[in-house]
Structure 1
Amino acid sequence: MEIIILASGSKGNAMNIKSNNSNILIDIGISYQVLKSKLKENMVDIKSIKHLFITHEHSDHIKGLQVFLKYHVDVTVYLSLGTYESLDAKTKELLINYVILKSDNTYEILNFKFETYGLSHDAKEPLGFVISSNNKKVVIATDTGYIDESYFDLLSNADFYLLEANHEPSLLMDSSRPYYLKQRIISEKGHLSNHEASYLIDKFIPNDKKAVWAVAHISEDCNNLHLIEKSIVRIIKDPTKVDVLFTSQTTSKVVKI
């Protein structure tokens, strides 16, 4: 599989996954023109994308959806019922082909197997995805303040993780953000901290395996790469089992597994 993280952060999220001749898009939180440009930079024809998966309805995950649907009427969009119900009327009108996904289910799309699970975020019905193809396993877990232990087996032993390490709590609490926003971010319906993300990676990746961790949704003002690395070294018992990739709001990151 080839994974292209087109953008990750509070200003927009999108990622492309290719396996053989199959091509899917996860989230579309950047403008249509930016999406088209970023795909072209990575030699992906936007017309080749026929399947789009949405994790939840926040604007940094669906910003480009309405315009995309205007130009690509043949695309099938996959989303939860809660996410669908949260879309505005104009977007629903353009949404001709769609599939309602349920948590804790398995779906076969092209040559991918999708397993869905519930995330804990202040959205109506956010979903995470475990995607398998050609004996490779990808876990997508971004925009969540908590991951229930009942999903640990499902999420373990993957080859690639898109897992957020959004903030360092001390920087967040010392920031100028309003108190209610700080409380939202650190809550179980908010975002994972560096410590929490590193703890999960240590749990998910067995000691006899190596995996890629694409650190996602990094706060621009309440986190930095040095603090993330400190958490990794302090918490992950064997940091050598993790190849760490820091995602970016502006620069695409490409991983082949």
Structure 2
Amino acid sequence: MEFRFTVLASGSTGNATVVQSGDKTVLVDAGHSLKKLEELMGSQGIAGHDIDAVLITHEHSDHIKGLNALARKYELPVYANEATWAALERHATHVPPERRVVMGTGEEVRFGSMAVRSYPISHDAAEPVGYTFTEDGYKLSLATDLGYVSDLVRRSIIDSDVLVLESNHDPEMLRMGRYPWNIKRRILSDVGHLSNEAAGEALCELMTDRTRRVYLAHLSLNHNMMDLARLTVNGVLEDRGHFFRKDEHPLRDTHPYEPTPWDQIKRKAL
């Protein structure tokens, strides 16, 4: 049975990821307009009526911008924890009551043969979460908007076949940038975003022999560059003794306005 995913968009301008297994298709976050989401999905051969459910990580606009319109147009069930639902109401996101599903943090739900479990993350939102997807022993983990990688996050996402991990900013670019200091302080804090170096340090503990690919995600448009993110993360990995041949290097890019190719999740051959 096919178990695959595509990151439709990733970054402060909007976030959305599609995970498929068999005849089930799940969208994680809806951070672009309905028109843009339909365009991104269409480029990957997906229509709105193909989606079985939407999972929300937290209430920030770059994760829920198109949620109202998407859920209403396609009559989709939307999953979030109680605190996030309350925050969505405050943000004037009015998903019809019959479409709201409360998924407690740490709870597991199933879509066909695919199991989805949420886990708590550190970010300045009501009750933000990440998600892991498992099927037949294979594991995909989505981990962005992390102030830091806590022990619970580490236990939740370690030993993934494929990992989507935040590599948001270069601290020096951020400090030299135009943002007001209060915003810079927020991004650098334990409820902000993971830097390139912090992502590399986390990967030293998260990657196992099972890990095949790591997608660097949620890059800042103003305070990062993909080449810099890859170079920094790879430098940390090499400093800790992780060396890879060019043809098997695990780091992959994500983009703010275009999808990644479909990635079939397969465990490394023994």
TM-score class, shorter-chain normalisation, is: over 0.9
1:68 corresponds to which of 47, 67, 70: 70
Matched, 1:116 2:118: yes
Residue 253 of structure 1 corresponds to 260
The 1:124–1:143 alpha-carbon spacing in structure 2 relative to 1, beyond 3 Å, is: same
The whole-number CA distance in structure 2 between the counterparts of 1:4 and 1:58 is 21
1:149 aligned partner: 151
One-letter code aligned to 1:150: L
Extract unaligned runs of 5+ from structure 2: 266-270
The root-mean-square deviation of aligned C-alpha atoms, in Å, is 1.6
Structure 1: any 5+ residue segments left out of the alignment? Answer: none
Higher strand share: 1
Q: Which residue of 2 aligns with 1:8?
A: 10
CA distance in 1, matches of 2:186, 2:166: 16
Relative to 1, partners in 2 of residues 1:132 and 1:85: Cα closer, same or farther, differing over 3 Å? same
State the secondary structure of the residue aligned to 2:175: helix
* Cα displacement (A) at 1:122: 0.5
Q: What is the correspondence of 1:39-118 to structure 2 with a 5 Å cutoff?
A: 39-73=41-75, 75-88=76-89, 91-92=93-94, 94-118=96-120
Indicate the residue corresponding to 1:204 in structure 2: 206
Q: Give the aligned residue type for 1:196.
A: A
d(CA) in 2 for partners of 1:159, 1:210: 4
Distance 2:4 2:47 in 1: 15
Could you tell me which residue of structure 1 aligns to residue 162 of structure 2? 160
SS, match of residue 219 in structure 1: coil
Residue 56 of structure 1: SS of its match in structure 2? Answer: coil
Partner of 1:222: 223
Q: 1:50-107 CA deviation, whole Å, 9 max, x = no partner?
A: 211000000000000111122122x111101111001137533524222212222322
1:31 match: 33
Q: Say whether residues 1:243 and 2:250 are aligned partners.
A: yes
Q: Counterpart of 2:158 in structure 1: which amino acid?
A: S
Which SS does the other structure have where 2:115 is aligned? strand
Deviation at 1:29, TM superposition (A): 0.3
Aligned positions, number: 255
Distance in 1, matches of 2:173 and 2:243, equals 24
Please give the TM-score of this superposition, normalised by the length of structure 2: 0.89
Q: 1:93 to 1:191 in 2, by over 3 A?
A: closer
Partner of 1:169: 171
Shift of the alpha carbon at 1:239? 4.2
